Amino acid sequence: MDAIQIYGGNCLHGQVRIQGSKNAVLPILSAALLIDGVCEIENCPVISDVYHMLRLMESLCCKVERNGHTVRVDASGVSRCDMPSDSVSVMRSSIMLLGSLLARTGSVSMQYPGGCVIGKRPIDLHLEGLRKMGVVIREREDGFDAETKGLTGAVHRLPFISVGATENLVLAAVLAKGETVIENAAREPEIVALCDFLQKAGADIEGVGTKRLHIRGVEKLHEISYRVPADRIVAGTYLAACLCCGGEIFLKDAPCVQMKAVSAAAASMGAEIEEHEEGLSVVCKERRVMPPGLITECYPGFPTDLQSAFLAAMSLADGEGVLEETIFENRFRIVPQLQQMGAKISCQDSRVYVSGVKTLHGAILKAEELRGGAALVLAGCAAEGKSIIKNRHFIERGYEDICLDMRALGADAALL
């Protein structure tokens, strides 16, 4: 039925292990294409975006073996450069294969990538940067053809911070001739994980974790085994679930250092947060306090991927508050769904204004994108009565089993 059924009203108690990072594993899988051999990737999340990425890689003549959370990728036979349109159209991260494929095959033909409808997210920065590195790109109505006789280093000054463009330029640069500099580079933990993977495979990268990356091209990379870090967005989602429902939970393996802004936002709402070597503990015994103002920012600021989850929590907090979205222009699609549950929220341009209510009531809801869909699950767990969230396939793009995890924390959630 592609839906989730929830009976809300339970306080949360218990422990859940945080899965491997979606946003880290996808560019890492793309990086495996650069290696003429076998790479073993551990702690790989079992989510639909990974399934589609592996399917794409198999279509490019990669050999892929999956055993639970471990994936073995043999890219020694990579030869094809045209990507199946059905997989590209449902997954924006397919653009991450562009730099790697140009390095391996010299040419790529693909449709414009799809994904969640949360904003324009143009790929102009990707294509402009690759042109600087010696790629000829011919755009079509539905896609483009890219070709190079050899990638060469270049200096890139990104006009605005872009995680995807930074990742693609790094992937193109590590085997390019000469040196590449990326200024105003994204600093997200996913960029750090990608660079860590490439460095372990023999890439020469300086400035990891800063706004300036300096890459010296090498002749080849070697086979490695790599463990994907835990997913900070999944951990933040379950932290927000405790804000919504109240209770006391432990997020095993949560990447505490990467979650400073999220933990600070939760603490401003009255949550007690404690970092441990094994993970993060969250206690919400009292009714939540409305934060004075929450603004999404590039890392290390508050992540746009958790804006919807915290909006659900704010709808149940005492007082009035404002949440401002500065990354994507279409990320308030969850607002009508929360309003249907009784939330008092209004939108004006890039801001939402929230007046907290004492309770939400169950409703039949519809997920329209990944993170908003997960936030509706949180709202359903906090609401009185029964909720049904349709289109759970959006949620499965980034969460292994959100119902199983929420049940482990005491919620009443099940697949339909």
Angle, vertex CA 244, rays to CA 4 and CA 333, nearest 5: 60
Structure token digits, residue 256: 């505490």
d(CA 343, CA 334): 11
116 is catalytic: yes
How far apart are the C-alpha atoms of 145 and 301, rounded to whole Å?
A: 36
Task: Give me the catalytic one of 39, 81, 116, 284.
Answer: 116
Question: In angstroms, rounded to a whole number, what is the distance separating the alpha carbons of residues 212 and 118?
Answer: 28
Query: 7 — alpha (psi -120 to 50), left (phi > 0) or beta?
Result: beta
Contact 413, 403 (CB under 8 A): yes
Give the H or E element holding residue 13.
Answer: strand 12-17
Please tell me what DSSP assigns to residue 318: B
Q: List, in order, residues 6 or more apart from 336 with CB less than 8 Å away.
A: none
410, amino acid identity: G
Mind telling me the catalytic residues?
116
